[in-house]
Amino acid sequence: MYDTPFYRRLRGWIGWCVDHRGRVLGVTLALFVLGLAGSRWSAAILPEFGPPELLIDLRLPEGASLAATLREAQRFESTLGKRPEIDHYIDFVARARRASTCRWINNSRRRTLHSSS
């Protein structure tokens, strides 16, 4: 089993690394330092993340109708509209396999209601 070309090559690589452990450690350390420097450099050029988001899932009991989910979503939507710290939101109302769900995402630039069944 261990007398295959793959294992012979692997034994050769391991033997070379053991024989040249100083070189292997030096290259490993150099790659580690380059990785640290690269992560700092990439952090400087990447854009900042957007404003905070809040994701809310509203789930009605199993068997609830889409109309009931929409009614509860609109009731919760009126509560969201009264909060001064929430300036934009989107809500999605849909019927899942087992329960009706509704989802709000804060910080959107538009306010729309999507319904599907």
pLDDT tens, residue by residue, 17-69: 999 999 999 999 999 998 888 776 666 666 666 667 777 778 788 878 888 88
69 and 103 fall within a common domain: yes
35 and 62 fall within a common domain: no
Q: What is the pLDDT of the chain when averaged over all its residues?
A: 76
17 and 41 fall within a common domain: yes
What is the band of 115 on the pLDDT scale with cuts at 50, 70, 90?
very low
62 and 84 fall within a common domain: yes
Residue 50 lies in a domain: no
Which pLDDT belongs to residue 38?
A: 76
Q: 25 vs 10, 12, 38, 62, CA distance in Å? A: 19, 18, 20, 60
Q: Please compute the mean of the pLDDT values over residues 68-87 and round it to a whole number.
A: 83
Domain around 89 = 55-115
Looking at the predicted structure, is the pLDDT value of residue 82 above 80?
A: yes
62 and 14 fall within a common domain: no
What strand order describes the sheet that includes 113-115?
A: 55-59, 100-106, 89-95, 113-115
Which pLDDT belongs to residue 109?
A: 43
32 and 79 fall within a common domain: no
Percent pLDDT > 90 in the chain is 26
Total number of residues shown for the chain: 117
Domain count, the chain: 2
69 and 101 fall within a common domain: yes
Residue 65 lies in a domain: yes
